[in-house]
Structure 1
């Protein structure tokens, strides 16, 4: 009874905390699977995440915890292009993480925010405040400096991150459009993206990684099994917590939590896997990008306060 009362009174904070923790931890579980255990098969990990997400969505709908329309061919046709972006986003993100260290991965992915701003201006004619653009540009400049100072810099990994930023930006812009066209909620979009994407991901995995998967030797390793399972489960939990955070809290809370987790991810990643060689330029770039994140969060907070006063 006491626990239920505590959860009810603090559910907003608990959901935001859950989102932050899950968002940070999934990156490290993914990195552990791909690098520490040498499972260099990002497509197979993507497939595992999709299957677990689909499983949880079906189970939660069965117990009436969530709702979305049953399988519909018309919706499949409408969402096929979104599902393609979804596959490319997940696959390229994991491939990039396998080849770069966590701090640089976290920093360089901030480029997607700048691409979203440009895309919204061109496609949706949405204007972004100048100070917000400036803070995002500083994030990106800091990330570029960090990349320049990273002696473990991987060119192919950076190309993957760049591609992932463009695909992620396209997915975020397009998901808003498709949500309005179909009337689907977050879970409906997740269900259809996963169910459309799984067959193509199976084919991609078999063609590109089939032989390696047959020869991989750590399947019986309990540590690998745990990390793979946690990575797959948290892929769903992350989307679920984002939905809950936007429901129980404001978009500002979600935005601030996202920035805080990105900063924590960078700090922890500097020391966790031992794949970061510190240099003055790298530290300066990461610091600049992190401070720009704080500035961006402050701008969003000020915008919310001004809107509240205007109302």
Structure 2
């Protein structure tokens, strides 16, 4: 259902660009690999979620720094930003960085408690809710068409359905079955 929702919403995308869709495809594959690696590294290294996040950031820092310095004009743009040292800007920057840290820590935790698939689905539900918020907050930039809304709703229903079934298979039926088996053992 989530995939169908994406297809319905994307079929009427008036701002279609092939490079944009290719980048989304690369993002999806990269995210899947990233989530699988989190799970594998946790199992093989025994690091905590915070330890994995720290190692991830330390290993990525040189590559991202080199890319930023050599392939973009970001450093010059930051240096030219007139409010760079304004206390309100610095406060918002620190808040945003803290939220990014907490989000990544939650992603690592979710992946290690559940599976990479569950983490991916919960991420998709978050994206659907973010898209809905974008429709509401930026109506001029995101024109709302019935097929787009239908796609978002179908995707949200699919995500909720998957989450419900995952929860029930993990906690609902298993717990009742365990209690039933235990009662049978106790009566013997």
TM-score bucket (shorter structure): 0.7 to 0.9
Match of 1:233 in 2: 98
Which structure 2 segments of 5+ residues have no match? 179-188
Q: 1:291 to 1:179 in 2, by over 3 A?
A: same
Match of 1:130 in 2: none
Which structure 1 segments of 5+ residues have no match? 1-137
Q: 1:219 to 1:263 in 2, by over 3 A?
A: same
Q: 1:160 to 1:257 in 2, by over 3 A?
A: closer
Whole-angstrom distance in 2 between the partners of 1:241 and 1:290: 21
Whole-angstrom distance in 1 between the partners of 2:166 and 2:76: 49
Match of 1:164 in 2: 27
Match of 1:53 in 2: none
Match of 1:141 in 2: 4
Whole-angstrom distance in 1 between the partners of 2:89 and 2:150: 35
Alignment of 1:277-288 (within 5 A): 277-288=143-154
- The normalised TM-score by structure 2 is 0.74
Match of 1:199 in 2: 62
Q: 1:245 to 1:284 in 2, by over 3 A?
A: closer
Whole-angstrom distance in 2 between the partners of 1:228 and 1:215: 16
Q: Do 1:152 and 1:277's aligned partners in 2 also have CA atoms closer than 8 Å?
A: no
Match of 1:302 in 2: 168
Q: Do 1:152 and 1:276's aligned partners in 2 also have CA atoms closer than 8 Å?
A: no
Q: 1:308 to 1:246 in 2, by over 3 A?
A: farther
Whole-angstrom distance in 2 between the partners of 1:298 and 1:196: 36
Choose the corresponding residue for 2:76, options 189, 198, 214: 214
1:266 aligns with 2:131: yes
Instruction: Specify the SS of the correspondent of 1:266.
Output: helix
Q: Do 2:2 and 2:159's aligned partners in 1 also have CA atoms closer than 8 Å?
A: yes
Q: Do 2:6 and 2:152's aligned partners in 1 also have CA atoms closer than 8 Å?
A: yes
Q: Do 1:144 and 1:285's aligned partners in 2 also have CA atoms closer than 8 Å?
A: yes
How far 1:186 moved relative to its partner? 0.9
Match of 1:49 in 2: none
How far 1:299 moved relative to its partner? 0.9
1:177 aligns with 2:40: yes
Larger Rg: 2
- The normalised TM-score by structure 1 is 0.47
Whole-angstrom distance in 2 between the partners of 1:283 and 1:241: 29
How far 1:150 moved relative to its partner? 2.1
Q: Deviations over 1:111-158 (max 9, x none)?
A: xxxxxxxxxxxxxxxxxxxxxxxxxxx201211221121222343222
Superposed CA RMSD = 3.1
Whole-angstrom distance in 1 between the partners of 2:64 and 2:100: 16
Q: Do 2:3 and 2:155's aligned partners in 1 also have CA atoms closer than 8 Å?
A: yes
- Paired residue total: 170
Instruction: Specify the SS of the correspondent of 2:16.
Output: coil
Q: Do 2:125 and 2:156's aligned partners in 1 also have CA atoms closer than 8 Å?
A: no
